[in-house]
């Protein structure tokens, strides 16, 4: 306890100690430290609260299914509505109460002032970026003069500005007198149970809700005794574009004891998910044994891989006929879980093996690796709960699940597929470890923040040392000469830099051409319909009477003959189409990644840029130039892939069902299969053309603006350095004082 008090004291005095040197210390580094420290007191206060609930956070990226999981696990209905977009998603706390009610917390006045200011800044920033793109295009002899699209300009504007415009616009569209609500909390009580509460809450956090745009967070008091002693937090995500709300999420994470990280199986364990595990949890003081990885949307993953159903069918044949149906559904889930579990293991092993990883993060990743992920389908559970009265959309999704897997799911097998009870029990079981988790929370949080603060102090010190050296050895005349030489070299070397982008454009075209060739070859394999023959024995009666033997009239004899039936399997054709669609999606994703290796592109452009400079000159500052070039390199982006959402096999199902097709209809089945594959190829070619155009525009924009952006970044850095050199003695003295302060601070963080 004494150690915790000392850590807290050192953290409390840290910002006060650094504040006199704020003008000298890197603003981004200091701001990062201030943001981290801002939520520490609130987190500690929440941790130390007498008799408090165990806090469980459900985190994950957009569309990971966090709200659906909670709806399935605890409510059996859509109590938590879906928001319009991630920009209007609000953080939600769920706690027990004897009577259902909700508290809606609106933005504070400070929150909304910041949102409105960013909304006002948006058109100004838009005009600036648009003018910059036009100017860059006009100055390049290689670019065609054109007005940039809104998407091109928007890609250069921060999410914070764009989201603020959306919130202000939505509030205005609803005709709200926003300032009448700011800073207030509204209580929704006497609504008549959880079902009525869901309806009432929709107006505040649901899609199209009247007050959704101004709702910062909500607290649901639910009359479910299983929640006693628990506080479950449904977060909008760490990448929330609304700055104030994103900080609320991070602060709540510091107050939580257990983390359930949901990741969609269609995009399992993304870089953003790993960022949560690697960067957020250690600083938040989360116990490594209290982090659970959940793979969501199990039903969609099962539909997307026809090989799983095919293999499960073969495995089920080992069982007696009456047991095969149950054996198949169990085999499908085991095969899917094994496949995704192995993938998760490899991904986590790669992360654990990366150099420079701190011990706390290694322990968190190692613990997640040992416990293995759980896999769920919230949709399956919710559909099972209302199996006899499904909506048209749910019925359509169920039909597709049954068709794609070749298994007729009923309510019981849907519950089995969902795996919700097992994961719900895992959540509830955390109450058994409440005292253990809470007792170590304060120390873990303080140690995590202390470690992170020490890292930031070391970064600040390194930056100041480099800046001091530049100022000490700098010469204004030489600096101005170097600046003029740099700008001249950048202008003269524009063609060499643009050649790097041109090379990427050629590579992209080559990769997409190879993709189309490969898909046409694959199409040949997936348009074949195998004609099957089945031989059966058929009995028939033959008359044995003779006209000249009246006593034999009416006599018959039973004989047998072989009958050959020619048929084809509609299900086989469906699986071929689905397999081709899946391969096409995967191939397009692979082509996108290979056609523009973003890191390689940035590296090549960076090398080409640095090669323009006179590195042999004694006045050349490689570190400064590299840092400024790095700012421009981080602006280079490419669009994401989006293809494969259409159900191409529906036409086959509509015309032929999923069973046998008689000989007379086999040609029709072949035509339907070829048409479905042709539709995939057509859509693929359309998407390739769209993606090629999009990537070309993105690279052309980066090509035409890169030199201008880099010139501006370098000039800004050199201007700041020149001003410091002009006041060399004062600047060095200020840096020396800041370094002494940092060294003193670091002594307390070793």
Q: What is the 3-state secondary structure (H, E, C) of 700-749?
A: HHHHHHHHHHHHHHHHHHHHHHHHHHHCHHHHHHHHHHHHHHHHHHHHCC
Does residue 373 surpass a pLDDT of 60?
yes
- Mean pLDDT of the residues in the chain: 75
Give the sign of the dihedral formed by CA 238, CA 244, CA 245, CA 249: positive
The CA-atom distances, in angstroms, between 558 and each of 547, 548, 555, 565 are 20, 22, 11, 22
Lowest mean pLDDT among 123-127, 464-468, 533-537, 590-594: 590-594
The pLDDT value recorded for residue 180 is 93
Q: How confident is the model at residue 410 (pLDDT cuts 50, 70, 90)?
A: very high
Does residue 326 surpass a pLDDT of 60?
yes
The pLDDT value recorded for residue 284 is 59
The pLDDT value recorded for residue 411 is 92
The pLDDT value recorded for residue 384 is 92
The pLDDT value recorded for residue 635 is 58
Does residue 148 surpass a pLDDT of 80?
no
More confident residue, 683 or 417: 417
The pLDDT value recorded for residue 256 is 77
Burial class (CB in 10 A: 0-12, 13-18, 19+), 697: middle
Q: How confident is the model at residue 185 (pLDDT cuts 50, 70, 90)?
A: very high
Does residue 97 surpass a pLDDT of 80?
yes
Share of the chain above pLDDT 90, in %: 5
Q: How confident is the model at residue 526 (pLDDT cuts 50, 70, 90)?
A: low
Q: Can you tell me the mean pLDDT for 667-691?
A: 75
β-bridge partners, 535: 564
Does residue 278 surpass a pLDDT of 80?
no
The pLDDT value recorded for residue 244 is 44
Does residue 288 surpass a pLDDT of 60?
yes
More confident residue, 493 or 104: 104
Strand pairing category for 91-96 and 215-222: parallel
Q: CB-based contacts of 330: which residues, under 8 Å, 6+ apart?
A: 416
The pLDDT value recorded for residue 239 is 47
More confident residue, 165 or 27: 165
Q: How confident is the model at residue 193 (pLDDT cuts 50, 70, 90)?
A: low
The CA-atom distances, in angstroms, between 370 and each of 50, 352, 365, 711 are 33, 12, 9, 50
The pLDDT value recorded for residue 496 is 72
Does residue 636 surpass a pLDDT of 70?
no
More confident residue, 647 or 385: 385
Does residue 294 surpass a pLDDT of 60?
yes
The pLDDT value recorded for residue 415 is 92
Does residue 627 surpass a pLDDT of 70?
no
Does residue 351 surpass a pLDDT of 50?
yes
The pLDDT value recorded for residue 245 is 47
Does residue 666 surpass a pLDDT of 60?
yes
Q: Can you tell me the mean pLDDT for 69-90?
A: 67
More confident residue, 454 or 559: 454
Q: Can you tell me the mean pLDDT for 192-221?
A: 78
The pLDDT value recorded for residue 634 is 59
Q: CB-based contacts of 171: which residues, under 8 Å, 6+ apart?
A: 178, 213, 214
Q: How confident is the model at residue 370 (pLDDT cuts 50, 70, 90)?
A: confident
β-bridge partners, 538: 561
The pLDDT value recorded for residue 184 is 92
pLDDT in tens, 692-721: 677 677 666 766 777 677 777 777 777 777
The pLDDT value recorded for residue 82 is 58
The pLDDT value recorded for residue 419 is 92
More confident residue, 596 or 641: 596
More confident residue, 140 or 558: 558
The pLDDT value recorded for residue 142 is 45
The pLDDT value recorded for residue 81 is 62
Considering 93-97, 331-335, 645-649, the range whose residues carry the highest mean pLDDT is 331-335
Share of the chain above pLDDT 70, in %: 66
The stretches of 386-493 forming alpha helices (DSSP H) are: 392-405, 411-418, 420-429, 434-473, 476-492
Q: Can you tell me the mean pLDDT for 114-121?
A: 85
What span, in angstroms and rounded, lies between the C-alpha atoms of 142 and 701? 11
What span, in angstroms and rounded, lies between the C-alpha atoms of 742 and 737? 9
Q: Can you tell me the mean pLDDT for 547-567?
A: 68
Does residue 606 surpass a pLDDT of 70?
no
The pLDDT value recorded for residue 477 is 74
Q: Can you tell me the mean pLDDT for 309-323?
A: 88
Q: Nearest CA to 271 among 598, 646, 707, 680?
A: 598
Q: In what order do the strands lie in the sheet with 374-375?
A: 185-188, 101-106, 215-222, 91-96, 230-234, 54-60, 258-264, 291-296, 374-375
What span, in angstroms and rounded, lies between the C-alpha atoms of 222 and 94? 7
Does residue 12 surpass a pLDDT of 90?
no
What span, in angstroms and rounded, lies between the C-alpha atoms of 283 and 518? 47
The pLDDT value recorded for residue 208 is 74
Q: How confident is the model at residue 192 (pLDDT cuts 50, 70, 90)?
A: low
């Amino acid at each position: 306890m004494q150690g915790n008090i000392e850590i807290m004291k050192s953290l409390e005095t840290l910002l006060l100690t650094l504040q006199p040197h704020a003008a000298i210390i890197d603003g981004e580094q200091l701001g990062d430290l201030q943001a981290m420290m801002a939520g520490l007191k609130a987190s500690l206060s929440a941790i130390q609260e007498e008799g408090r609930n165990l806090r469980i956070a459900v985190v994950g990226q957009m569309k990971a299914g966090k709200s659906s999981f909670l709806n399935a696990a605890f409510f059996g209905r859509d109590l938590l509505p879906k928001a319009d977009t991630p920009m209007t998603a609000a953080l939600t706390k769920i706690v027990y109460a004897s009577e259902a009610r909700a508290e809606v917390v609106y933005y504070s006045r400070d929150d909304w002032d910041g949102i409105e200011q960013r909304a006002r800044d948006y058109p100004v920033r838009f005009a600036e970026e648009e003018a910059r793109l036009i100017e860059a295009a006009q100055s390049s002899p290689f670019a065609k003069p054109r007005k940039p699209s809104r998407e091109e300009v928007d890609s250069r504007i921060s999410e914070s500005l764009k989201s603020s415009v959306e919130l202000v616009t939505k509030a205005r569209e609803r005709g709200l007198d926003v300032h009448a609500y700011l800073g207030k909390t509204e209580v929704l009580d006497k609504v008549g149970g959880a079902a009525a509460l869901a309806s009432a809450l929709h107006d505040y956090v649901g899609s199209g809700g009247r007050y959704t745009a101004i709702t910062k967070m909500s607290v649901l008091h639910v009359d479910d005794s299983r929640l006693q002693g628990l506080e479950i937090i449904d977060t909008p995500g760490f990448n929330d574009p609304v700055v104030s709300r994103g900080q609320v999420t991070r602060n709540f994470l510091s107050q939580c004891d257990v983390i359930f990280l949901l990741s969609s199986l269609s995009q399992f364990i993304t870089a953003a998910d790993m960022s949560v595990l690697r960067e957020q949890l250690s600083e938040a003081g989360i116990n490594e044994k209290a982090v659970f990885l959940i793979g969501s949307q199990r039903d969609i993953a099962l539909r997307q891989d026809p090989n799983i159903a095919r293999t499960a069918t073969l495995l089920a044949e080992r069982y007696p006929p009456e047991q095969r149906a149950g054996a198949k559904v169990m085999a499908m889930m085991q095969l899917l879980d094994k496949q995704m579990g192995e993938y998760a293991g490899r991904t986590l092993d790669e992360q654990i093996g990366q150099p420079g990883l701190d011990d706390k993060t290694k322990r968190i990743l190692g613990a997640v690796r040992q416990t293995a992920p759980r896999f769920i389908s919230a949709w399956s559970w919710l559909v099972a709960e209302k199996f006899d009265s499904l909506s048209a959309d749910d019925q359509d999704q169920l039909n597709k699940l049954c068709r794609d897997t070749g298994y007729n799911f009923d309510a019981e097998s849907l519950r089995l597929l969902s795996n919700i009870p097992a994961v719900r029990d895992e959540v509830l079981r955390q109450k058994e470890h409440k005292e253990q988790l809470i007792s170590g929370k304060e120390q873990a949080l303080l140690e995590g923040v202390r470690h992170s603060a020490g890292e930031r102090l070391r970064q600040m010190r390194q930056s100041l040392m480099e800046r001091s050296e530049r100022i000490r050895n700098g010469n204004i005349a030489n600096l101005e000469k170097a600046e003029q030489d740099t700008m001249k070299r950048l202008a003269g070397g524009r063609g060499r830099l643009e050649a790097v982008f041109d090379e990427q454009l050629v590579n992209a075209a080559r990769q997409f051409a190879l993709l189309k060739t490969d898909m046409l070859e694959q199409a040949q394999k997936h348009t074949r319909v195998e004609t099957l023959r089945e031989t059966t024995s058929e009995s028939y009666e033959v008359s044995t009477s003779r006209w000249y033997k009246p006593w034999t009239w009416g006599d018959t004899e039973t004989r047998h003959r072989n009958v050959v039936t020619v048929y084809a399997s509609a299900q086989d054709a469906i699986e071929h189409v689905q397999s081709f669609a899946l391969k096409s999606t995967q191939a397009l994703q692979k082509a996108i990644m290979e056609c523009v290796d973003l890191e390689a592109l940035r590296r090549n452009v960076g090398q080409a840029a640095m090669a323009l400079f006179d590195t042999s000159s004694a006045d050349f500052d490689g570190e400064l130039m590299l840092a400024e070039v790095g700012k421009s390199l981080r602006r280079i982006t490419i669009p994401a892939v989006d293809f494969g959402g259409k159900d191409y096999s529906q036409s086959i199902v509509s015309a032929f069902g999923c069973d046998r097709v008689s000989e007379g209809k086999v040609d029709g089945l072949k035509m339907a299969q070829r048409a479905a594959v042709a539709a995939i190829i057509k859509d693929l070619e359309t998407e390739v053309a769209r993606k090629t155009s999009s990537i070309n525009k993105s690279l052309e924009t980066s090509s035409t603006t890169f030199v201008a952006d880099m010139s501006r970044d370098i000039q800004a850095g050199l201007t700041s350095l020149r001003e410091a050199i002009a006041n060399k003695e004062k600047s060095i003295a200020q840096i020396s004082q800041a370094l002494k302060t940092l060294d003193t601070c670091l002594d307390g963080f070793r």
